[in-house]
Chains A and B, each alone.
Chain A
Amino acid sequence: MAAAVPEGVLAEDAIKRPGQHTWLHAIVRGLFITVSLTFLAAVLLAPLATVFAMALARGVPAYLRSLGNPDTLAAIRLTLITAAVVVPINTVFGLAAAWAIAKFEFRGKSVLVTLIDLPLAISPVISGMVFVLLFGLHGWFGAWLQEHDIAIVFALPGILLATMFVTFPYVARELIPLMQQVGNDEEEAAITLGAGGWMTFFRVTLPKVRWGLVYGMVLCNARAMGEFGAVSVVSGHIRGLTNTMPLHIEILYNEYNFVGAFAVASLLTLLAALTLVVKTLVERTGYRRR
Chain B
Amino acid sequence: MRFVKPSVLPGFGLTFGFTTFFLSTIVLLPLAALALAAASMQWSDFLHVVLSPRALGSYRLSFGASFLAASINLVFGFIIAWTLTRYDFPGRKIVDALIDMPFALPTAVSGIALTTVFAQNGWIGRYLEPLGIKVAYTWLGVTLALTLISMPFTVRAVQPALLEVQRELEDAAETLGAGRFYVFRRIILPTVLPALLTGFTLSFARAVGEYGSVIFIAGNLPMKTEITPLLIVIHLEQFDYQGAAALGVVMLAISFVVLLTINLLQAWGRRQHVAAAH
Q: Which residues of A contact B (CB under 8 A)?
A: 1-5, 7-15, 19-21, 24, 28-29, 32-33, 35-37, 39-40, 42-48, 50-51, 54, 93, 96-97, 99-101, 103-107, 112, 115-116, 118-119, 121-126, 129-134, 136-140, 161, 164-165, 168, 184, 187-188, 191-192, 197, 200-201, 219, 222, 225-229, 232-233, 245-247, 249-250, 253, 258, 261-262, 265, 268-269, 271-273, 275-276, 279-280
Contacts and interface: CB of A to CB of B under 8 A. Distances in A.
Given A133-B30, A279-B97, 8 more contacts: A3-B156, A46-B123, A47-B116, A123-B232, A197-B9, A228-B108, A268-B106, A272-B109
A224 to B, nearest CB: 10
Interface in B2-43: 3-5, 7-12, 14-16, 18-20, 22-23, 26-31, 33-34, 36-37
B144 interface: yes
B11 to A, nearest CB: 5
6 contacts: A11-B165, A14-B87, A106-B5, A115-B28, A192-B8, A232-B212
Contacts of B210: 123-124, 229
Contacts of B4: 104-107
B3 A126 contact: no
Given A20-B174, A136-B241, A246-B108, A123 B229 contact: yes
B248 A104 contact: no
A122 B252 contact: yes
B68 interface: no
A155 to B, nearest CB: 16
B233 interface: yes
B241 A132 contact: yes
Contact of B101 (A21, A265, A276): A276
A39 B76 contact: yes
Contact of A50 (B15, B87, B113, B198): B113
A160 to B, nearest CB: 10
A101 B112 CA distance: 41
Contact of B212 (A11, A124, A261): A124
Contacts of A280: 97
A288 B156 CA distance: 14
B261 interface: no
A288 B8 CA distance: 28
Nearest to A25: B180
Contacts of B12: 100, 103-104, 106
Nearest to B168: A12
